Structure formats: C-alpha cells, structure tokens
Amino acid sequence: MLNHISFILLILCFGISPTLAQKKKSSEGKESLKTYTIRDAEQLMKKDRAAAITILADIIEEAKNTEDLKALYDANILLGNINSSAGFSQLAAERYQQAIGIEGSLSPKPKLTAAEYLADVYLSTNDPRTLKGFQMCIDNTSDIEQKYRCQEGLALSYLNEEKTEEGLKILSELESIYKQSNNPSLARIQARIAQVELARNNIELAQQNLNNAYSNYKTSPASDYDIIQESKADVLEETEDLEEEISILKTNVDLNVAKPEIAVPEQIELAEAYLKNNEVDKAKATINKAKKIIDKVDDSKTKAKLYKKASETYAAQGNYEEALKEYTAYQNVQSKLLKEKEAEVNEQLAILSSQKDIEISEKTYDSRQKLSASEASRSKIQGYIIVLLCLLLLTAIIGGYTIWRNLKAKNIANKKLQLQSLRAQMNPHFIFNALNSVNEYIATQDERRANRYLSDFSQLMRSVLEVNQKETIPLQDEIQLSKLYLKLEQDRFQDKFEYLTEIDPEVEQSDLQIPPLLLQPYLENAIWHGLRYRTKKGTLQLIMKELDEHLQITMMDNGIGRAQSQALKTKHQKIHKSTGMENTRSRMEIVEGLYGNRYEIQIEDAYDDPDYPGTKVTILISKKAV
C-alpha cells in the first residue's frame, strides 16, 4: 500500500510542473478573436440582420474574454434592436435586460439608457412591467429628448391601464413643452391627445387636436405618420356626417401634397369616401391624381390598395374593361407582396438560426468559464494535497476522495453539456422541417390564410426557442406546444386527418417536468409517414392518463403503418435515421442518468386493419419530480 501511495506521490509531484507549464502556455497562446466592430454590425444590419448577428457573436465572445463592458453593452442593445425589428419581443427584452445589468458598471455612464428600449418592448406586449420600465428610463437618462419620449411612454402606459386622467395630464404637459421648443414631435403628441379625447367622448376636442396635428405635421419625422393616421381613423369612425368626413380628408390631402408616401394613402381614403357618397367622377379624379405620384412611393401595400380602389371606381362607372386592367395590376402587386412576405419569413428564420448560434456560443463560453474555474480550483487543491501527501499518508486518502468527487462532478457537467448540445440540435431540426410547410403554404398564394398560418408559425417558433433553453419544462407547456404544432399541420392537411387530445383531469400538468419537444417527433412521424398517405381523412389521438406511479402518454394514428411507410421510402431514406426521434431517445437517456427519472417507450401497430394498421406510441414516465 505504501509503495502505491509513494508512486502516486511521485506522479503528483512531477505532474505539477507540466500542468503549470501547460496553463502558462495556454494563457500566452491566447489570440484575439476581434475582427469586427459594433459599427460594422450596425451597417450590416440594414442589409442582412442575420449576418449582423453572426458578427455580434464574435464581438460578444471577445468582449467577455477581454472584459470590455462597453462593447458587451452595445452588442446587447444592437441584438435587442434586431430581435425587436424582427418581431421577437421576448428575445429583444432579454438582451435589453442584460444591457441594463451592465449599464451601472460602465464608466462614464451612457447618456442614453437601455431602459427605454425595454419599456417599449413591454408596451408593445402589454407587459405589466411597462410603467416601471418607463419610470426607470426617466430616472436614469441624462438626455432630455429621451426623458420626454419616456414620459410619453409613461402616459401611454397609464392609458392602457385606463388611468385616463394621469395619461392626459402628462401628454398635455408635453404638448406645452413641445410648443415652446418647436419640437418636431408636437404633431404626434396632439394626435395622441385626440385619441384620448375621443375615448372621453369629446368629439369636438378630438377633431380640434387632430386638425392641430395635421397643421404641425409638415416638420414631423416620417415615423409619426402611422400614429397620426391611426388617430385620424379613430376620429373619422365617430364622424357620422359623410360630407364632413370628405372635408376632413380633402384638408389632409392638401396638407400632405408634397409627401407622396402620405398623400397617396390619403387620396385612396378620399376616393373611398366619394364612392360612398355616389360621387364617382370625383373619386376617379382623385384616383388619377394618386396614380401620377404612385411611382414615388416604395410601399407595395399602398400600390395594391390604389390599383384595387381604381378597379372599384371604374366598375362603379360601368367601365369594366378598365376595371379589369386595374385589377390585373392589383394582382401583380399582390404577387410581389407574397414574394416579399416569403423573403421576410426566410429572413426571420435566418435570424432565429443565427440567434441560436449566438446563444450556443454564449452558453459554450459560460460552460468553459465554469469548467476553467473548476479546473483552477482543483489544481489548487491538488497542490495542497501533494505537499500534505509528502508529510502524511492519511492525506493520500483525502486526496483520493477529492479526485473521485471532482471526477464525478465533471462527469455530471459533461452530461449536462451533452444534453445542452442535443437541445441545441432540436431547434434547427424542427425549424427546417417546419420551413417546408411554410414555403409550400405560401406558394398557394392564399394571402389571408398564409398570414394566419405565418402568425401561428411565428408563435410556435418563439415558444420552441424559449423552451429549448431549458433542460426540462412543465408537462402543460409541452401539451401547449404539441397542440399548436398539430393545429398548424392539420390546417395544412385538412383533408388528411383530424386530431383529438384527451388529458386525464388527474394528470399533474404543472408539477411533472419532462424534456422539451418530447412528443413532437412522434407526432410528426404519425402525420408525415402515416396519415399523409391515406385516401380518406384519418385520426391522430394524443391521450394522457395517470397510472399509479407513472404517467402514460399514448399517440395513436390510423395511417398506413410502419411497414407500408418503409416500403414507400427511397433507398437513401431507408438508410437515414430520424434525427428527431434519435435525438429524443438520447436526451431521455441523459435525463435518466442525471435525475433518476425513467422513460419507457413502446411502438406497435394500432389496429388490425391490413390497409391502415396505423402506429401506436406509448411512453411511460415515472412521476418522480426532476
């Protein structure tokens, strides 16, 4: 025993120098990753937001390595802006929160605070933290213009909470300040006051404030146009006199004649009012004026509205030949809009993919830092152990126990890293599978249903991105994801299947934790490899029951079954294994090893029908909390 311990002591003693040398070499060999700057990312953001995220990934990694808080702060704000512009509010909020966490450590402190961006996201999503966010902005900013903007946001927050008097008071104070300083945003404030007065049934005051807004709009930024238009639409909705509505619209057209991007939509609305009033010739004349300046407008939606209204005007005159020409032009613009929508969806998917890359990079860096800290701590402990082992044999036992404990901890850490990697693979796999459905659906050129489908798809993507950051999620979240996925696929394959969900009321949906996206690969296989090949509509069932110490999840379809599905596959498909199902099995094995839960999966034919035997997947999960 002594010889063995002496041998260990010799190895440890001689091992110190190589270890220290290795660490020194690693430190000296560290090279800078910095290639791009925040300015580079800002310029690229205008052309390719996904590529800008890729640059920001490198900037963030380098900023963390060099502890450059300013670069890390700017990168998080820019990432938040990209996600916000792409409609990913939750991702944007997370980035702004990180920036705010860094803000207090910066020296000098930024003149503008990131709290405004965060509060704007909260306002757009009706988050109850909106009031607190804008108040934080007012308290932390040293820029007077930002302070005014946040006061305006605070007013809107009060109005959303139906605290009308508080909101109106702030807006009135801002109107007075903007009048004295000739602030170009005066028109926007007056338009908002018009909406408040309208809500208070003060129609005359609402109209007066709207007229004031249009009088001051000539010096306003283009970004204020939508707010003023919204206010105008609200006021006109309450205007019962059609002649008065026409008078208001004519005034607005005259005020904005030098701004085609504003004048054309106003002229379209005026033509619509003329048609309602049976003044077809005036409607035609208004449409012709708009067509003379439409080439100066870049917005395809505005062009589509103009051509459609022109078609309706010619049809009202009985000139159906010209009406058909205008409608053909409308359809051509609609086709362009569909392509723009498809490009927008592709860009959103690219942003999601790039976002996943940057999240993986950050998590890998954080894990590496934790492991490095663990290695440094272990090296220090081992150094003491070596000295003590040279004096006392008892220290060898302590050292052996310490090494065994660290190895066990490292094994657990490695398993968690492996689980993290598998979760990271699930999101791109799921996105690219779903992308085929999106593109095919858009190809039908059913704009209304395509927009609804894209809205549901965007919601599913945000949910998948959020849950994939977690090792486990509550069963109720998994059920919601599965239902949303089934809704999307059933909307596409309406003639192929319907789905039924049966959840036992005794199932503890909020307490039981399971790996995210556990059910989706099996549901996907049931639809794509079973039900899709039926000649008549089939059925997909998702059933959950409590069985003593287990939860039983059953997914059953009456599709063509595994044998026929295998026969339909190409040679390449037979060799290729399902990435989603293999990934799911691997994740369940790791979760079992880490937390002791048990997962049992059984796959068999669902029915005795030779033509449609279907497939039945049964998963048994132990109810022990993860």
CATH of the domain at 526: 3.30.565.10
Residue 55 Rama label (left phi>0; alpha psi -120 to 50; beta): alpha
**Residue 620, token pair as written in the block:** 């048994």
Mean pLDDT, range 609-617, rounded to an integer: 93
The secondary element (H helix, E strand) that includes residue 624 is none
Structure tokens, 555: 């997914």
Query: Using an 8 Å Cβ cutoff, are 556 and 616 in contact?
Result: yes
Query: Tell me, what's the pLDDT at 355?
Result: 72
Within a domain: 529: yes
**Looking at the domain assignment, is residue 402 inside a domain?**
no
User: Is the pLDDT at 118 greater than 80, yes or no?
Assistant: yes
Determine the Cα angle at 570 with ends 568 and 573, to 5°: 105
Which one is predicted more confidently, 429 or 50? 50
Beta-carbon-side half-sphere exposure of residue 508 (alpha carbons within 13 Å): 14
pLDDT at 521: 86
In sequence order, the β-bridge partners of residue 618 are 554, 602
Phi and psi at residue 507, in whole multiples of 5°? -65, 130
Contact 56, 79 (CB under 8 A): yes
Could you give the 3-state DSSP secondary structure of residue 548? coil
**Alpha-helical segments (H) within 444-519:** 447-467, 475-492
Torsion sign, CA atoms 227, 230, 231, 232: positive
Q: How far apart are CA 226 and CA 9, in angstroms?
A: 77
506 vs 115: CA distance, rounded Å: 44
Q: What pLDDT score was predicted for residue 76? A: 92
Within 8 A by CB and 6+ apart from 33, the residues are 58, 61, 62, 65
Q: How does DSSP assign 45-74, residue by residue?
A: HTT-HHHHHHHHHHHHHHHHHHT-HHHHHH
3-state helix, strand, coil in the chain (%, to 5): 75, 5, 20
Contact 541, 499 (CB under 8 A): yes
Assigned token pair, 81 = 């802006």
Q: Would you state the pLDDT for residue 431?
A: 64
Residue 498's alpha-carbon distances to 47, 459, 483, 519, 604, in angstroms, are 42, 21, 12, 17, 21
The pLDDT tens digits for 328-372 are: 988 998 888 888 788 778 877 877 777 776 777 677 766 766 766
Section 541-558 average pLDDT = 92
Tell me the C-alpha distance between 520 and 107, whole Å. 48
Q: Which residues contact 201 (CB under 8 A, 6 or more apart)?
A: none
Residues 6+ apart with CB under 8 A from 446: none
- Give the pair of three-digit tokens for residue 5: 């311990």
Between 469 and 50, the higher pLDDT residue: 50
Look at residue 421 and tell me whether its pLDDT is greater than 50.
yes
Q: Which pair of structure tokens corresponds to residue 258?
A: 């030098």
- The one-character DSSP state at 540 is E
251-286 residue pLDDT tens: 777 767 777 887 888 888 888 888 888 888 888 889
HEC profile for 71-126?
HHHHHHHHHHHHHHHCCCHHHHHHHHHHHHHHHCCCCCCCCCCCHHHHHHHHHHCC
State the pLDDT at residue 20. 44
User: Angle, to 10 degrees, between the axis of helix 115-124 and the axis of helix 69-85?
Assistant: 20
pLDDT tens per residue across span 486-523: 998 888 788 899 999 999 988 888 888 888 888 988 99
> Which whole-number Å values give the CA distances from 93 to 82, 96, 114, 118, 448, in the listed order?
11, 5, 10, 6, 30
Query: What's the structural domain count of the chain?
Result: 1
Q: How far is residue 182's CA from residue 192's CA, in Å, rounded to a whole number?
A: 18
38/19 Cα distance (integer angstroms):
38
Residue 48 inside a domain? The answer is: no
Overall average pLDDT of the 125-130 stretch: 91
CB 509 within 8 A of CB 551: no
**607 vs 295, more confident:** 607
What is the average per-residue pLDDT within 293-301?
86
392 within a domain of the structure (yes/no): no
The whole-number pLDDT of residue 580 equals 59
Residue 127 in tokens: 């988050």
pLDDT of 190: 92
Lowest mean pLDDT among 354-358, 477-481, 592-596: 592-596
Report the pLDDT value the prediction gives residue 619, as an integer from 0 to 100: 92
What's residue 595's pLDDT? Answer: 63
74 domain-assigned: no
Cα separations (Å) of 270 from 227, 242, 290, 327, 498?
19, 11, 11, 19, 47
pLDDT of residue 3: 53
Mean pLDDT comparison of 127-136, 305-314, 318-327, 339-348, highest-scoring range: 127-136
Helix (H) or strand (E) holding 392: none
Neighbours of 575 (CB within 10 A): 8
CA distance 591 to 621: 12
pLDDT score for 594:
65
Q: What is the pLDDT of residues 178-216, one digit of tens each?
A: 999 989 899 999 999 998 988 888 888 888 888 888 788
Question: What percentage of the chain carries pLDDT values higher than 70?
Answer: 80
Structural domain including 522 reads 470-626
β-pairing, 538-547 vs 497-503, is: parallel
Partners of residue 604 on adjacent β-strands: 616
Cβ contacts of 505 within 8 Å, gap of 6 or more? none
Amino acid 29: pLDDT:
39
CB atoms within 10 A of CB 151: 18
pLDDT at position 470: 80
Report yes or no on 419 lying in a domain.
Answer: no
Q: What is the pLDDT of residue 47?
A: 83
**Selection from 6, 3, 1 nearest residue 389 by Cα:** 6
The most confident of the ranges 167-176, 412-421, 432-441 is 167-176
Among 56-70, 218-232, 368-382, which is the least confidently predicted range? 368-382
Query: Which of 394, 377, 396, 376 lies closest to 386 in space, CA to CA?
Result: 396
Q: What is the mean pLDDT of the chain?
A: 81
Task: Tell me which H or E stretch contains 413.
Answer: helix 394-443
pLDDT score recorded for residue 250: 80
Residue range 110-122: mean pLDDT, rounded: 93
Cβ contacts of 602 within 8 Å, gap of 6 or more = 617, 618
Is 159 contained in some domain? no
Tell whether 3 is covered by a domain: no
Q: How far apart are CA 84 and CA 121, in angstroms?
A: 7
Please name the residue that has the structure tokens 């052309």.
Answer: 47
Residue 139 scores a pLDDT above 90? yes
User: Coil, strand, or helix at residue 499?
Assistant: strand
